[in-house]
Amino acid sequence: MTDSDLTGKIQQIKLIVTDVDGVLTDGRITISSDNRESKKFYVEDGMGVALARLAGIPIAFLSGRYSEATTIRARELQIKYCYQGQLNKTLGLIEICKNYQVDCNEVCYIGDGLVDIPPMEKVGLAITVPNAHQLTKKVADHITTNSGGTGALAEVVEWILTQQEKYDDTLNKMKKEVYHKK
């Protein structure tokens, strides 16, 4: 894929859908002896969500497994659509697209596992992380510099906003919101 092809794809993006385990986390799940689960989320990804929201690009979560930790993180980040327990991620992707009234070619999907390949093949821009499965890397249009759980989502948001020439304006909006709230 040429740089101009990739730039053209980025210009069409109106929605970002991301997997959770392996993208927003490093893929490890901690389960204690009392059956409590915990995950580590990277705080800068929260800033990425805020930037995307200010730029008018919503973000949705689409996870193959259910986790209360994911529900809590989605609520914290004001993620409107957080689909979990969806092994057929293409069906979840289609439903999210309907909810946001966008075509699949206007979606950036970020995934890392084999279960992410079908939705990655359906969207306009498919992104993965360096610690992804090798077959997932083969279908990706782009591989982030940051690994899953270390700011990959924030990196993608900044990259898309920069390519769409919205980054500086979005940062200025954020500064105004922060300073006006004080």
Question: What CATH number is attached to the domain comprising 109?
Answer: 3.40.50.1000
Range of the domain at 123: 3-181
Average pLDDT in the chain: 94
Q: What is the mean pLDDT of residues 114-133?
A: 98
pLDDT of residue 182: 55
Q: To the nearest whole percent, how much of the chain has pLDDT over 70?
A: 97
Give the span between the Cα atoms of 161 and 89, in whole angstroms.
25
Give the span between the Cα atoms of 15 and 168, in whole angstroms.
19
Give the span between the Cα atoms of 21 and 5, in whole angstroms.
29
Number of domains in the chain: 1
Query: Cβ neighbours of residue 32 under 8 Å, at least 6 residues apart?
Result: 38
Q: What is the mean pLDDT of residues 126-144?
A: 97
